[in-house]
Amino acid sequence: MEKYLVENLDVAVIGAGHAGIEAALAAARLGCKVGIFTICLDGVGNLPCNPSIGGTAKGHLVCEIDALGGEMGKAADATFLQSRMLNLGKGPAVHSLRVQSDRRAYTTYMKHALEKQENLMLIQGEIVEIESEGGRVTGVVTHLGARYTAKAVILATGTYLKGEIIIGKSHTPGGPDGMYAAGALSDCLEKMGVPLRRFKTGTPARVNRRSLDFSKMQVQEGDEEIIPFSFENEQIGENQVVCYLTGTNERTHQIIRENIHLSPIYSGDIKGIGPRYCPSIEDKVMRFQEKNAHQLFVEPCGLETEEMYLQGLSSSLPEYVQRELIHSIQGLEKAEIMRVAYAIQYDCVDPQALYPTLEFKAIGGLYGAGQFNGSSGYEEAAAQGLIAGINAARAIQGKEPLILDRASSYIGTLIDDLVTKGTPEPYRMMTSRSEYRLLLRQDNADLRLTPLGYELGLISEERYQRFLEKKAHIEQEIERLRTTYVSGAKGANEILERCGTAPLSGGASLAELIARPQVGYQDLAPIDQGRPELKRAEWKQAEISLKYEGYIEKQLAKVEEFKKLEKRRLPEDLDYQSIEGLRLEARQKLSSVRPMSIGQASRISGVSPADISVLMIALEQRRRNDGKNQ
């Protein structure tokens, strides 16, 4: 193939899904000349599976992306159809925002955001080759021979690398929604020594709204009070649709059991490893045989389409079996199937080949992000894309990289899990993965990360000043609540009685009353004469800070312990094979991962506390020897 030079770039981003979009926007906003490449412009920002943003723990990621200056939260706010805050029956640590998005409106928003961004070119073209020289990337080449030089390349290929669509016995090369797969790039990466492996995911069927009987389903309304994802937004409109709840039954399960031999998962036709936390319907039925029903959510794909998404019903069974099992479900008896469910296998990387910056250890200037790194989900992808874009730009500009640790964010937890522990299956973020989840709530993501976004150059001066004002209001209100006292005689006991908690025998501060589990900030309004006019986000932060103060202090103490180990840096040239006392498995794992700190080393699977003790002794001995040799 004859190559010809088209453009000299700073950063080339391969893929314009959720990871690629955030990577390209971040690098361009930081002043780099960026080209983002996609097989088809109509697939930019596609939501090939569920047309929704957020969910348990994923909502945290979206809020963190927004606090750092990313785009996903704004796009979700601009295109949502229904908004719901999940887990409200539990504590604030696990409250997670989820919106049903208008699928086409979302992709249109994101494509336009890329088109408008200065320093950024959006290019349709399949990248078939990454050029390198002396262990560093130098550019990319399209299938037509167009060559673009680049100082950094970000792989955000989603499920396209040697993608294969599987429905029963049908195996067809392809990406999501009938797009074609990218094969040549996989071959190029293998030649470069990139450790690829095969993962699998799937998506349910879509059905026509007019063919459904909603009278047999349970209506799911959205929240009355709409909370935006983006901290820049206060009002974003109202819910425009409802969703519906139905479920499988014994007849559905019987159909699946009778045809399980036709499932590519069970016949061995699917070699890729699928997500344990998002199994297909046939997998659910076979693994949880004690259950006689599984919930299904029937959700709209947009305002200008009649397509409805069957969340919870992903499958790779033959089409005729899918039809039979769908028609066995209440409300779906006459469902017209518009898109058949399918599984997709694809190539991705072992993320332990990456630094926490998401740059490859063995190839300078090459970064990975999103499903290419072994994760699953739009939000996980966008979070990694943002960090990869920031770090590619900062490396080109000669600046220190951005590494978020586990105590700072869910983004830090996500990346640390991937690059330190690796993942044997598509990785999905959950609140249980964080040791510090009471500190890392979605409601305080701006307090945690906006100053960093501003320092990086992704948060505007105007937004930062508004943030500082909000922060001051919260701090002032907490102090006011601590120093404002009331007594039972002044109406407090009536309120406490209504809230179901013990009356006051003397006086108490408003902060002490809010600390009671049964009492909320708004409950005390009748006796709080000096209350200022605050926005919901401001008084809510004050309330949570006071109500969970003791637990927060305990987690902060654990964070301090964590940071001590993170500060114990490990030399890049440390020879783990030569350290006496380290077990063989620990030597192998440490040599492979090349951890940056004692803290990171302690989280590697197969490295024991005893190994860490040996490692710390070896570090101290090395420090003494270096001192003697100076």
Query: Counting runs of H as helices and runs of E as strands, what totals does the chain give?
Result: 20, 23
Can you read off the two tokens belonging to residue 171? Answer: 């195996």
Residue (of 360, 396, 389, 368) closest to 151 by Cα position: 396
Residues of the chain with pLDDT under 50: none
Whole-number Å distance between alpha carbons of 45 and 26: 15
Please tell me the predicted confidence (pLDDT) of residue 628.
61
The sign of the dihedral angle between the CA atoms of 619, 623, 628, 630 is positive
Structural domains of the chain sorted by starting position, each given as residue range(s) with its CATH number in brackets: 4-449 (3.50.50.60), 461-552 (1.10.10.1800), 568-629 (1.10.150.570)
Question: Which residues, in sequence order, are CB contacts of 520 under 8 Å at separation 6+?
Answer: 514, 543
Whole-number Å distance between alpha carbons of 406 and 410: 7
At 139, the amino acid letter reads G
Question: Which residues, in sequence order, are CB contacts of 83 under 8 Å at separation 6+?
Answer: 97, 98, 99, 100, 222, 223, 226, 227, 239
Could you tell me how far CA 2 lies from the centroid of its own chain?
40
Please tell me the predicted confidence (pLDDT) of residue 205.
97
User: Crossing angle of helices 72-79/378-396, nearest 10°?
Assistant: 140
For residue 72, report the phi and psi dihedrals to the nearest 5 degrees: -60, -45
User: Residue 30: in which H helix or E strand, if any?
Assistant: none
Please tell me the predicted confidence (pLDDT) of residue 446.
98
Q: What is the DSSP letter of 246?
A: E
Strand partners, 86: 96
* In contact, 317 and 282? CB cutoff 8 Å: yes
Residue (of 607, 606, 608, 596) closest to 566 by Cα position: 596
E strands in 87-135:
96-101, 120-124, 127-133
Scan for tokens 């979605």, then name that residue: 442
Please tell me the predicted confidence (pLDDT) of residue 374.
97
pLDDT digits (tens, 9 = 90+) for 615-625: 999 888 888 88
The sign of the dihedral angle between the CA atoms of 188, 194, 200, 201 is negative
Whole-number Å distance between alpha carbons of 566 and 28: 31
In SS3 terms, 574-625 reads as: CCHHHCCCCCHHHHHHHHHHCCCEHHHHHCCCCCCHHHHHHHHHHHHHHHHH
Whole-number Å distance between alpha carbons of 208 and 354: 43
Whole-number Å distance between alpha carbons of 33 and 25: 10
Whole-number Å distance between alpha carbons of 389 and 25: 8
Within 13 Å and on the Cβ side, how many CA atoms surround 285?
26
Judged on CB neighbours under 10 Å (0-12, 13-18, 19+), 193 is exposed
Q: For the whole prediction, is pTM greater than 0.85? A: yes
* In contact, 95 and 442? CB cutoff 8 Å: yes
* In contact, 443 and 541? CB cutoff 8 Å: yes
For residue 88, report the phi and psi dihedrals to the nearest 5 degrees: -65, -20
To 10 degrees, the CA torsion angle through 520, 521, 522, 524?
90
Please tell me the predicted confidence (pLDDT) of residue 265.
83
Q: What is the DSSP letter of 417?
A: I
Question: Which residues, in sequence order, are CB contacts of 125 under 8 Å at separation 6+?
Answer: 37, 38, 39, 142, 143, 144, 146
User: Crossing angle of helices 58-67/72-79, nearest 10°?
Assistant: 110
Whole-number Å distance between alpha carbons of 376 and 284: 18
Strand partners, 202: 343
Residue (of 60, 21, 52) closest to 37 by Cα position: 21
* In contact, 246 and 216? CB cutoff 8 Å: yes
Whole-number Å distance between alpha carbons of 10 and 590: 33
E strands in 326-473:
337-339, 342-349, 366-368
* In contact, 349 and 138? CB cutoff 8 Å: no
Strands 196-208 and 307-314, sheet pairing: antiparallel
